[in-house]
């Protein structure tokens, strides 16, 4: 069955392959039928995830898709949680949900890990402390490899240059901070950026939309600009 992962309270997370989505109340993730995934939570949460039979669904998104959740959609999700609904009542409510679903132009941030022991040690250290600003040459001295070797290994084993991989790691670390309502400045510090504007630019360039749009469910939220 198709699933919409949504957290009525708190922040849900969804992991699919090497990508993870963080979903505050203003966002839900469409997970197409048959796609293996794992759901969790960043903090104590109460999830409300409607399921839809593919044969009754006019939506055919083949990939996980982030959608904004309006107050009306949230109310419909609550309504669909009533197991006492008659079949025709459920069908009418589902039809309205399908009409209201609007995808956000946003992508997940994959973080594939290298296998090479030296590159894996660098990756683990950056994930543990994304604000660590050591250069690739300095990392090479720490793990016993040249910067050129590490650069080649990261690209070959993750499909990302070292710079892009580190950007992904930093943004992934900032996502839960933003999702739980902290200002952009706090997320920027957690991710190792010198300014909120530099962080917002990196987020927009990588994800496709600025943090205020992503975590505002499609509308700018000044409280998150911090």
pLDDT tens-place string over residues 25-64: 888 999 999 999 998 887 777 788 899 999 989 999 999 9
Domain ranges of the chain: 2-100, 117-224
Question: How far is 27 from 5, CA to CA, in rounded Å?
Answer: 9
CATH of 2-100, one of 3.40.720.10, 2.60.120.280, 3.40.190.10, 3.40.50.720: 2.60.120.280
3-state secondary structure 150-192: HHHHHHHHHCCCHHHHHHHHHHHHHHHHHHCCCCHHHHHHHHC
Backbone Cα Rg of the chain: 20
Whole-structure pTM value: 0.75
* pLDDT tens figures, 103-147: 887 777 889 999 999 999 999 999 999 999 999 999 999 999 999
Question: How far is 112 from 197, CA to CA, in rounded Å?
Answer: 26
Q: How far is CA 201 from the centre of its chain?
A: 17
Backbone angles phi, psi at 61, to 5 degrees: -70, 120
Is 117-224 a CATH 1.10.3130.10 domain? no
Q: Write the DSSP symbol of residue 40.
A: E
């Amino acid at each position: 069955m198709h699933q919409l992962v949504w957290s009525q309270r708190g922040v849900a997370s969804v992991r699919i392959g090497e990508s993870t989505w963080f979903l505050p109340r203003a966002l839900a993730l469409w997970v197409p039928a048959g796609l293996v995934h794992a759901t969790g939570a960043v903090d104590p949460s109460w999830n409300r995830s409607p399921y839809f039979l593919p044969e009754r669904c006019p939506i055919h998104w083949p990939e996980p898709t982030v959608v904004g959740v309006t107050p009306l959609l949230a109310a419909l999700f609550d309504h669909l949680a009533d197991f006492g609904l008659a079949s025709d009542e459920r069908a009418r409510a589902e039809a309205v949900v399908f009409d209201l679903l609007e995808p956000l132009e946003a992508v997940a941030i994959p973080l594939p890990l290298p296998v090479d022991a030296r590159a894996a040690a660098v990756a683990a250290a950056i994930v543990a402390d994304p604000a660590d600003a050591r250069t690739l040459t300095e990392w090479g001295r720490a793990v016993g490899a040249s910067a050129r070797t590490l650069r080649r290994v990261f690209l070959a084993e993750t499909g990302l240059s070292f710079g892009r991989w580190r950007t992904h790691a930093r943004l992934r670390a900032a996502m839960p901070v933003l999702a739980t309502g902290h200002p952009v400045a706090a997320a920027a510090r957690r991710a190792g950026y010198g300014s909120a504007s530099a962080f917002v630019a990196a987020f927009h360039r990588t994800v496709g939309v600025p943090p205020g749009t992503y975590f505002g469910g499609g509308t700018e939220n000044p409280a998150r600009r911090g």
